[in-house]
Structure 1
Amino acid sequence: MNNKKKKKFNRYTGLLIIMIMIFSLLINEMVTLQMIHGEEYSARANVEFIKNIDYSAPRGEILDADGRVLATSLKSYNLIYVDTTESRKVLYQTIDEVRALLKNSGEDINDKFSLKTDPFRFEFGSEDPDFINKSELRWKKDRGINDYLFNTVLREETGKSKISELNEKETDRLDELILEFSPEETYFYLIEFYKLYDALSPSAEEKKLYDKMSGREIHEELLKKFDWQTIRAYLVIRDSIRMESYQGSKAVTLMSNMKEETAFTFLQQLSKLPGIDVETNPIRLYPYQATAAHVIGYLNPIPAGSQNSYMEKGYDISKDYIGVSGIESAYEDWLRGSKGVKTVEVDKNGRTISELFELGTYPGNNVQLTLDANLQYTAERVLSDLIYEYSQVNTVHRVVGYTQNSTNATRGAIVVMEADTGNILAMASNPSYDPNLFAVPGRLTSEMYKEFFTPDYKAYAEELIRKMNLRTTVNAKTGETRPAVPEDLFRFNADGTVSDFNDIYAKPLFNYATQGLIPSASTFKVITGLAALEEGVLTPNTLIRDDGAYTNDQVGNPITNDGGGAYGNINMAKALAKSSNVFFADVGYRLYKAKGLNAIAEWAWKLGMGYNPEEKPHSTTGLEINENISGNVYNHYSKVEITKRLFMFDVVAFLNAGKARNTGRSFAPIDIGVNRADEEKKALGKEKIKEAVRNAFDISIDDANNYVRQDYAEVVQSLRKAFEEYIAILPEEEANGLESSKFYAEQIAAKIVYDQTTEIISPRNVLNSSIGQGDNQTSLLQIANALATIVNGGTRYKTNLVQRITDTEGNVIQENEPVVLEETGIKESSVNALLNGLRASTLPGGGSYATLKDFPIATGGKTGTGTFKENQQELGRDAFGLYTAVAPIDDPEIVVAVVIYDVTRGAFVVPAALAVFEEYFEEKLKTEYPDYVRQYEYELPEPISSYEDKVEGDDTEADTAADEENETQP
């Protein structure tokens, strides 16, 4: 009985006891969490992660010679988004609210997205096709388009399972497919790739349906709720988030350089905007806007093709800007500051809770230039005024026997430099631009981008044909004249790019002072005179008879004076004053007879006008910023290479045309042109013929000076062998009916030995060079430095734009002293003779007298009118106008060089030098010549201090509205 009453302890009882104990512990822990440590653990739960935040350092300032600030950095406000688990949940709602707040303040989200709509296109900030292709490839690969195309096309074609398994040819094929993948296809691919249907807040079942849709179909669904602009904004931000993920947990900049009041508005709304925050960041400001833009340069985002190298240097490729031209580029490492970093705790909405560590920024160093901002502004303004006058107002110019048209006188340059240091005091290039447009995302509107990088060349050509009243143009392919069409002024390529092969269009970002190559025209006569004096073929007092034309048995057609004048017996000084072609042609022939074909070139090289082609390519000026180092003065070596290069096109056309040399009788054509469809053996056979042609141009300077040609029989033999081998590998149907290899070899050999070589070894080349024509093509900077070298007594200095580099406290880190590149050894008597000639050209009867007659300080100068090509007007071009000048003539301080393209006459650009002289000698004129009235007086505008001030060419609110309208629907 007692056993029955005793409570039985079984497994259920034990389980009950254990459960009671567990629940007791849980209740105790919950009480501890909530009541005792509630606030502490709540804060910990709110921490999403610890992260490092990079802070950009201000770039160093760029100053003019007197300390005026030409480039500086300002504090600005950026709107950022931090991608976290919590903020991601409401991303699209947050974007909508952010855009609404920005719209209320007249601003919008940054749009650095290279894929544009209306029409669909890519914008990579360049006209260079190679750069564009490389950027497009990198951009698309970063977004997985290479994987997509491999999986959908090449996997089956090649049988390979990975991209890494592709061979070189297959890899090239993949790149071709990527480039063929259109902007429109890319847009809809990204709609699908980023699953933008999430903006519709779909259910799980709806997501399954969307996953089966194409990007275009998803887009149609999105359009039922959102407009094009909103969808694109979603795409831009989703893309930015993904690109940032490559660099770790970093913020995405939604808006740069916000207005201060806009920043405060967002700071008040942060609790309602998960992931959104406001940060300060330095931005670049150019207080004098377009002044010295081509010298200073501008900033741009890091291009896709260079991102890896800049990441290795510590740059943030998503938001850091780098100098891409001018001093900003050349002195990037000096100007760039040291970044700061903060280690912070971030809450679930991406905002900083606490700072754990901070390393401050350190500004970049300052670069002080040799430029005088007042002189620079004067040079730019007078150049702009002259270009306006001759392209818009005074455009038709009648000369004896012909009419010229300066409608396309839309570009030019001025260089002002110290004669005895190489320091550049002013360097103007027109057209110009305001670098502020590139300093902040969003300021460069679509219309501005088009003007800078993708202009409407066809519309421009049509307008130019109308303005110049062109009846005919030259067919670029055949060389034949036909009724005027735009396609003859520009080459419209099959890939959509345009080649401005006649250098017609005025390019705002191009520095015409350092990058343009121009004929030095009659300004080169000073160098011809120097060579003659130094080589002893004449003296300053030698008289040469100018009867209006020069010729002899070796030079062919007579060389005449411009306008048909004749000046009788004249010496060097009068020949320079009158710009006598006859005098200098005679001098050129004397030099040829005494020293050979390179007689003038060897002196030009001493002065930095090009260099001996047997040397490695190099700068002859030493300038810090980008320049064209391909300048050339006629010489035997370059003449051979130029003739050879041009003949390679001619020989292909000749063999295709099937018309024999001299007789014109028909023969069976043979094609040796490049054809991508050719099999390797056939392509190699063609190349062997071309190599034999190139080798046939092996003409030594000694043979050329002695008027000795190649051995015709030897040339025939080498060419015949190449033709035999090529014909032997041709299919029977192609080989049948061809002429013998001997026939083709003899035809080409005759053209080389009797036509091309005759041109190469002719002294006519020296005569053309003696008056600044022919193969003479140099930069304006080289022309200026050559004159400076002569007038300072023969010392060629390195040209210099930078005076010194200082730290933020003003301490000098580097001082640039004049650097001598070459002592030419010019005789003092030669210098004096040339100065007398330069002075004579500014006196009555001289080419610049009309403009400079009232200027009280004695100057010297030389005008030049340079032909572009014989049929230049049918190419939309006309003659260059040049002027080189020095002042004071009795003790030269500065040299000025001016060029305006297509202005037709050198005399038209002389006023630019006068304006420069009036500004440079301003104090001397006031004290010594108080009654002199300046003809040109320009006042440097007050600098802007912020982007709230009006920026040249900028109408941000209006342009933003226009862009919004343009992006609504393709």
Structure 2
Amino acid sequence: MNNKKKKKFNRYTGLLVIMVMIFSLLINEMVTLQMIHGEEYSARANVEFIKNIDYAAPRGEILDADGRVLATSLKSYNLIYVDTTESRKVLYQTIDEVRALLKSSGEEINDTFSLKTDPFRFEFGSEDSDFIRGSELRWKKDRGINDYLFRTVLSKETGKNKISELNEKETDQLDELILAFSPEDTYYYLIEFYKMYEALTPTAEEKKLYEKMSGREIHEELLKKFDWETIRTYLVIRDSIRMESYQGSKAVTLMSNMKEETAFTFFQQLSKLPGIDVETNPIRLYPYQTTAAHIIGYLNPIPAGSQNYYMEKGYDISKDYIGVSGIESAYEDWLRGSKGVKTVEVDKNGRTISELFELETYPGNNVQLTLDANLQNTAEKVLSDLIYEYSQVNTVHRVAGYTQNSTNATRGAIVVMEADTGNILAMASNPSFDPNLFAVPGRLTSEMYQEFFTPDYRAYAEELIRKMNLRTTVNEKTNETRPAVPEDLFRFNTDGTVTDFNDIYAKPFFNYATQGLVPSASTFKVITGLAALEEGILTPNTIIRDNGAYTNDQVGNPITNDGGGAYGNINLAKALAKSSNVFFADVGYRLYKAKGLNAIAEWAWKLGMGHDPQEKSHSTTGIEINENISGNVYNHYSKVEITKRLFMFDVVAFLNAGKARNTSRSFTPIDIGINRADEEKKALGKEKIKQAVRDAFDISIDDANKYVRQDYAEVVQNLREAFEEYIAILPEEEATGLESSKFYAEQIAAKIVYDQTTEIISPRNVLNSSIGQGDNQTSLLQIANALATIVNGGTRYKTNLVQRITDTEGNVIQENEPVVLEETGIKESTVKALLDGLRASTLPGGGSYSTFKDFPIATGGKTGTATFKANQAEVGRDAFGLYTAVAPVDDPEIVVAVVIYDVTRGAFVVPAALAVFEEYFEEQLKTEYPDYVRKYDYELPEPITSYENLSDVDGAETDIQSDEANESKP
């Protein structure tokens, strides 16, 4: 008997069986993959991913009133790089080949990278310090510099492990560290951060060495093989790839607006350039270049501080451009089109294999303006010619025994509007810019950027000082002077920024028509006359004696006529024609006696010249684009606030100086100025004193009209309590030797009640306002709209730049009709009287007769000349020149307002209005006055149709020319 023992089936046997089965399946699958479906899966392996490609839609067009295209979109070619695993392996070789091909075509890779070298600096496309600060913070945080500085510096100081754990003060500290991280530090940080040593294709061992190096050390190694420009180009593209990764799988644009022949060259080479592709993309074109630039605006990449907002609205923050000024900005939502999307399969080299789905783009809507391009061109050209004349040729002017200099008459504006609709027909601002520079990356050169956003203020000041021989007074008693230095003109701040506190430098992006505030000067006399007529203070036939000066016991120094003349017995019309300061000062005082300090202001507010400060700050024009809404006409409320604000600086200086009011006595100084080193209790003590000072300026309009001051004893008591509390908390070494709280309180109270309040409640303020001086500061647009309101019979319209919005087929989506803001109720007799006065100014003996004597259509106007400040000549400034005009004077259709800064005389800007009238009435002149020969005939240039025939632009014309100015005696 065979007694062989049966083999038991245990768990080890089972495991062996399972393993055999698994390996059998694996072998079977491998055979299937390799032998049966090998070709199919090999092809599929080349498909790295499916991705969506966004296609930008053309923006809607911006048209003038006659349909001329002022802004449009063109088809262009973009060179893009798609980052994939395979294309990344040969990234740097690909970049080298791309650069070589572009160079052979005369083109180069876009450089929109904000970090520049040679010298190291940031460029954020703005001169606004707050914008620059915010952009720099966002830019650095997006690249991890906040994490780096927290990890290496702040974490150790605070003992905290996460940025989110920082309190507000520590967060501010981190922000300051980020801002202090220099452009040079940032550059080398990014060299390390992006592992730029990969461009050297290191071995595994070399890579370990590079990983231990600093950014500077890596850069030194890179310089052994590449030049600075190449390294920076690599860095720019690596950065772009990372920034794009925030938005998913998208392409990096290497070159925008590529020439068609260059695009064809790349199409032929795509198989040799992993990751490279060519796409079509619409770009913005402004056919008339600088024409209406401040109204149309321009495009720019989405700023760092606004990226979240625009991302939520569907923008590609790394590629899309938005309107940042003018109509492009105000009507962004209308002009922006609907993007298209294409879903495609992409191979391992980043190229499209097949299209799976496509959603077509839809263009934006068109915006048609109220502007007439011919009238706009005329306004801009005559303004430019006048600025050139008085800043470069005819610069020295001798009038009534004194000399004025208009060398810095480098900026100005013109507004032309319909009198009975509020529609703007032209709005010129000089200097200007070409918005085409910003529509395509790379067009704005570093030189242009510096001229626009970081001008050399010191060099400008030195040249202005040389040309104008500027001197600064060092002793007012002896009139001792010294040669001026740049610091007399500009404030050069420790952080590298410059403050133009004298408003000297001409700013190309600043719209002087809507954003500049200017004294309305003698053009305001029309409003003074209006107030007097409407309040029954005088009639058109009232005679006032002008003996060359006006004064009384309440107004101090006499008010005299410009040039020192006297006009005898005159009525309103002659007073406007002669611009009699004496007449209108007399009228101003009569208004004050009858209606109080706000008598003129209340009528100016009805006309949109500023507004009652007790109301919420708001626009009085309603214009669609950016404007300065801080315009002000003298009134009691603003005077109190202005005086109070200025006195807050004075009181700190007074207490630090230790010189008693109105005596030769000295006292122990006490410091109530802001000091960041102060402990909270001390800082609060100082603030309580300042609040007591502010409270002391509580002067009601009723008391002011009665010439009643504050209660001196009450002011002393309130200040005394504040000083007592403050002195009590001071350390003994600081409190020792101080005067009594009563002494300090009495000194400050006396300055407020007897000095400052005297100025506040003085009727002199009304007299200054009556002739357009003093606290009167409004925009040129407000001045124009006020005159339009008067001459149309008293209806104040919303000023308007947009006529209608249409779709791409021309269908009207929105039509803008005239909007009435206020019916002022001006009497017809008042309007006639004022028009008679304006007409008299253009007749023999009037201020603008010499310019309009041959013009056959009856016009009316008023010149204005306003001082900038008392020592204006020491800082290169001089008087503003203004002119406001209306035509035809018997049935007004249009109103014109002109200003040129530092031109010295209002009479010098009058020709601008003539040029505008000649263009506006062109057909009437040809038909009714065929023998009339125009003095100004500017032709609108032919529109450009592509960037290839775009004229070279050297930026804004803001430079002070180095040639000696020719002196011309009037």
In the alignment, the residues of structure 1 paired with residue 17 and residue 964 of structure 2 have an alpha-carbon distance, to the nearest angstrom, of 71
- Confirm or deny: 8 A CA contact 1:540 1:571 kept in the other structure: yes
After TM superposition, give the deviation of residue 474 of structure 1 in Å.
7.8
In the alignment, the residues of structure 1 paired with residue 583 and residue 915 of structure 2 have an alpha-carbon distance, to the nearest angstrom, of 31
Give 5+ residue unaligned stretches, structure 1: none
- Confirm or deny: 8 A CA contact 1:229 1:968 kept in the other structure: no
In the alignment, the residues of structure 1 paired with residue 122 and residue 253 of structure 2 have an alpha-carbon distance, to the nearest angstrom, of 21
Name the residue aligned to 1:428.
Answer: 428
After TM superposition, give the deviation of residue 401 of structure 1 in Å.
2.5
In the alignment, the residues of structure 1 paired with residue 116 and residue 722 of structure 2 have an alpha-carbon distance, to the nearest angstrom, of 51
- Alpha-carbon displacement from aligned partner over 1:437-473 (angstroms, at most 9, x marks no partner): 0000000111111111110011111111111111226
- Confirm or deny: 8 A CA contact 2:521 2:865 kept in the other structure: yes
1:722 to 2:722 alignment:
yes
After TM superposition, give the deviation of residue 4 of structure 1 in Å.
15
Distance 1:40 1:657, change over 3 A: same
- Confirm or deny: 8 A CA contact 1:415 1:781 kept in the other structure: yes
After TM superposition, give the deviation of residue 141 of structure 1 in Å.
0.8
After TM superposition, give the deviation of residue 480 of structure 1 in Å.
10
In the alignment, the residues of structure 1 paired with residue 196 and residue 452 of structure 2 have an alpha-carbon distance, to the nearest angstrom, of 33
Distance 1:436 1:959, change over 3 A: farther
Distance 1:36 1:827, change over 3 A: same
Distance 1:337 1:475, change over 3 A: farther
- Confirm or deny: 8 A CA contact 1:445 1:959 kept in the other structure: no
Distance 1:11 1:817, change over 3 A: closer
Q: What is the DSSP-based 3-state SS (H/G/I as helix, E as strand, rest coil) of the residue aligned with 1:562? A: coil
- Confirm or deny: 8 A CA contact 1:415 1:780 kept in the other structure: yes
In the alignment, the residues of structure 2 paired with residue 839 and residue 947 of structure 1 have an alpha-carbon distance, to the nearest angstrom, of 48
- Confirm or deny: 8 A CA contact 1:290 1:434 kept in the other structure: yes
In the alignment, the residues of structure 2 paired with residue 195 and residue 969 of structure 1 have an alpha-carbon distance, to the nearest angstrom, of 68
Distance 1:965 1:500, change over 3 A: closer
- Alpha-carbon displacement from aligned partner over 1:349-380 (angstroms, at most 9, x marks no partner): 11111111111111100000000000000000
After TM superposition, give the deviation of residue 266 of structure 1 in Å.
0.8
Distance 1:11 1:806, change over 3 A: closer
After TM superposition, give the deviation of residue 40 of structure 1 in Å.
2.6
- Alpha-carbon displacement from aligned partner over 1:67-100 (angstroms, at most 9, x marks no partner): 0000001111111111110011111111111111
- Confirm or deny: 8 A CA contact 2:471 2:481 kept in the other structure: no
Moved more, 161-170 or 645-654: 161-170
Distance 1:756 1:526, change over 3 A: same
- Alpha-carbon displacement from aligned partner over 1:592-642 (angstroms, at most 9, x marks no partner): 000000000000000000000000000000000000000000000000000
- Confirm or deny: 8 A CA contact 1:79 1:276 kept in the other structure: yes
Q: What is the DSSP-based 3-state SS (H/G/I as helix, E as strand, rest coil) of the residue aligned with 1:341? A: strand
Q: What is the DSSP-based 3-state SS (H/G/I as helix, E as strand, rest coil) of the residue aligned with 1:243? A: helix
Distance 1:481 1:48, change over 3 A: farther
After TM superposition, give the deviation of residue 967 of structure 1 in Å.
42
In the alignment, the residues of structure 2 paired with residue 723 and residue 497 of structure 1 have an alpha-carbon distance, to the nearest angstrom, of 37
- Confirm or deny: 8 A CA contact 1:299 1:321 kept in the other structure: yes
- Confirm or deny: 8 A CA contact 1:559 1:585 kept in the other structure: yes
In the alignment, the residues of structure 2 paired with residue 212 and residue 177 of structure 1 have an alpha-carbon distance, to the nearest angstrom, of 24
- Confirm or deny: 8 A CA contact 2:433 2:509 kept in the other structure: yes
After TM superposition, give the deviation of residue 169 of structure 1 in Å.
1.1
- Confirm or deny: 8 A CA contact 1:106 1:957 kept in the other structure: no
Name the residue aligned to 1:454.
Answer: 454
In the alignment, the residues of structure 2 paired with residue 955 and residue 360 of structure 1 have an alpha-carbon distance, to the nearest angstrom, of 38
- Confirm or deny: 8 A CA contact 1:292 1:428 kept in the other structure: yes
In the alignment, the residues of structure 2 paired with residue 927 and residue 969 of structure 1 have an alpha-carbon distance, to the nearest angstrom, of 39
- Alpha-carbon displacement from aligned partner over 1:853-889 (angstroms, at most 9, x marks no partner): 1001000000000110111111220000000000000
Structure 1 segment 559-574 matched on structure 2, within 5 A: 559-574=559-574
Moved more, 447-456 or 29-38: 29-38
Name the residue aligned to 1:351.
Answer: 351
Distance 1:874 1:653, change over 3 A: same
After TM superposition, give the deviation of residue 759 of structure 1 in Å.
0.1
After TM superposition, give the deviation of residue 664 of structure 1 in Å.
2.7
Q: What is the DSSP-based 3-state SS (H/G/I as helix, E as strand, rest coil) of the residue aligned with 2:781? A: helix
In the alignment, the residues of structure 2 paired with residue 969 and residue 41 of structure 1 have an alpha-carbon distance, to the nearest angstrom, of 90
With the length of structure 1 as denominator, give the TM-score of the two structures: 0.96
After TM superposition, give the deviation of residue 155 of structure 1 in Å.
1.1
After TM superposition, give the deviation of residue 483 of structure 1 in Å.
3.3
After TM superposition, give the deviation of residue 955 of structure 1 in Å.
11
Q: What is the DSSP-based 3-state SS (H/G/I as helix, E as strand, rest coil) of the residue aligned with 1:641? A: helix
Moved more, 950-959 or 466-475: 950-959
In the alignment, the residues of structure 2 paired with residue 819 and residue 330 of structure 1 have an alpha-carbon distance, to the nearest angstrom, of 18
Q: What is the DSSP-based 3-state SS (H/G/I as helix, E as strand, rest coil) of the residue aligned with 1:886? A: strand
- Confirm or deny: 8 A CA contact 1:118 1:967 kept in the other structure: no
Moved more, 209-218 or 513-522: 209-218
Give 5+ residue unaligned stretches, structure 2: none
After TM superposition, give the deviation of residue 37 of structure 1 in Å.
3.8
After TM superposition, give the deviation of residue 945 of structure 1 in Å.
0.5
Distance 1:967 1:908, change over 3 A: closer
In the alignment, the residues of structure 2 paired with residue 969 and residue 142 of structure 1 have an alpha-carbon distance, to the nearest angstrom, of 60
- Alpha-carbon displacement from aligned partner over 1:402-427 (angstroms, at most 9, x marks no partner): 10000000000000000000000000
- Confirm or deny: 8 A CA contact 2:633 2:775 kept in the other structure: yes
Distance 1:22 1:165, change over 3 A: closer
1:492 to 2:496 alignment:
no
Distance 1:799 1:16, change over 3 A: closer
In the alignment, the residues of structure 2 paired with residue 514 and residue 627 of structure 1 have an alpha-carbon distance, to the nearest angstrom, of 5
Structure 1 segment 26-37 matched on structure 2, within 5 A: 33=33, 37=37
- Confirm or deny: 8 A CA contact 2:560 2:581 kept in the other structure: yes
After TM superposition, give the deviation of residue 13 of structure 1 in Å.
15
In the alignment, the residues of structure 1 paired with residue 78 and residue 879 of structure 2 have an alpha-carbon distance, to the nearest angstrom, of 50
After TM superposition, give the deviation of residue 41 of structure 1 in Å.
2.0
- Alpha-carbon displacement from aligned partner over 1:193-222 (angstroms, at most 9, x marks no partner): 111000001111111111111101111110
- Alpha-carbon displacement from aligned partner over 1:165-213 (angstroms, at most 9, x marks no partner): 1111111111111111111101101101111000001111111111111
In the alignment, the residues of structure 2 paired with residue 572 and residue 386 of structure 1 have an alpha-carbon distance, to the nearest angstrom, of 31
Q: What is the DSSP-based 3-state SS (H/G/I as helix, E as strand, rest coil) of the residue aligned with 2:249? A: coil
After TM superposition, give the deviation of residue 272 of structure 1 in Å.
0.9
- Confirm or deny: 8 A CA contact 1:794 1:824 kept in the other structure: yes
Name the residue aligned to 1:414.
Answer: 414
After TM superposition, give the deviation of residue 839 of structure 1 in Å.
0.2
- Confirm or deny: 8 A CA contact 2:839 2:859 kept in the other structure: yes
Distance 1:956 1:216, change over 3 A: farther
- Confirm or deny: 8 A CA contact 2:338 2:361 kept in the other structure: yes
Structure 1 segment 198-217 matched on structure 2, within 5 A: 198-217=198-217
Distance 1:954 1:31, change over 3 A: farther
After TM superposition, give the deviation of residue 34 of structure 1 in Å.
5.5
After TM superposition, give the deviation of residue 107 of structure 1 in Å.
1.1
Distance 1:473 1:357, change over 3 A: farther
Distance 1:212 1:478, change over 3 A: farther
After TM superposition, give the deviation of residue 959 of structure 1 in Å.
19
Moved more, 126-135 or 430-439: 126-135
Large movers: runs of 4+ above 3 Å: 1-39, 473-483, 954-970
In the alignment, the residues of structure 2 paired with residue 969 and residue 827 of structure 1 have an alpha-carbon distance, to the nearest angstrom, of 45
Moved more, 58-67 or 10-19: 10-19
- Confirm or deny: 8 A CA contact 1:445 1:960 kept in the other structure: no
Moved more, 302-311 or 100-109: 100-109
- Confirm or deny: 8 A CA contact 2:470 2:875 kept in the other structure: no
Q: What is the DSSP-based 3-state SS (H/G/I as helix, E as strand, rest coil) of the residue aligned with 1:774? A: coil
- Confirm or deny: 8 A CA contact 1:229 1:967 kept in the other structure: no
In the alignment, the residues of structure 1 paired with residue 395 and residue 746 of structure 2 have an alpha-carbon distance, to the nearest angstrom, of 50
In the alignment, the residues of structure 2 paired with residue 666 and residue 891 of structure 1 have an alpha-carbon distance, to the nearest angstrom, of 67
In the alignment, the residues of structure 1 paired with residue 786 and residue 957 of structure 2 have an alpha-carbon distance, to the nearest angstrom, of 48
Q: What is the DSSP-based 3-state SS (H/G/I as helix, E as strand, rest coil) of the residue aligned with 1:826? A: coil
Distance 1:91 1:410, change over 3 A: same
Q: What is the DSSP-based 3-state SS (H/G/I as helix, E as strand, rest coil) of the residue aligned with 2:963? A: helix
In the alignment, the residues of structure 2 paired with residue 773 and residue 14 of structure 1 have an alpha-carbon distance, to the nearest angstrom, of 106
In the alignment, the residues of structure 1 paired with residue 967 and residue 234 of structure 2 have an alpha-carbon distance, to the nearest angstrom, of 13
Distance 1:351 1:717, change over 3 A: same
Distance 1:658 1:23, change over 3 A: closer
Q: What is the DSSP-based 3-state SS (H/G/I as helix, E as strand, rest coil) of the residue aligned with 1:441? A: coil
Name the residue aligned to 1:121.
Answer: 121
- Alpha-carbon displacement from aligned partner over 1:385-404 (angstroms, at most 9, x marks no partner): 00000000000000112100
Q: What is the DSSP-based 3-state SS (H/G/I as helix, E as strand, rest coil) of the residue aligned with 2:959? A: helix
Name the residue aligned to 1:75.
Answer: 75
- Confirm or deny: 8 A CA contact 1:474 1:488 kept in the other structure: no
Identical-residue share of aligned pairs (%): 91
Q: How many residues align structurally?
A: 970
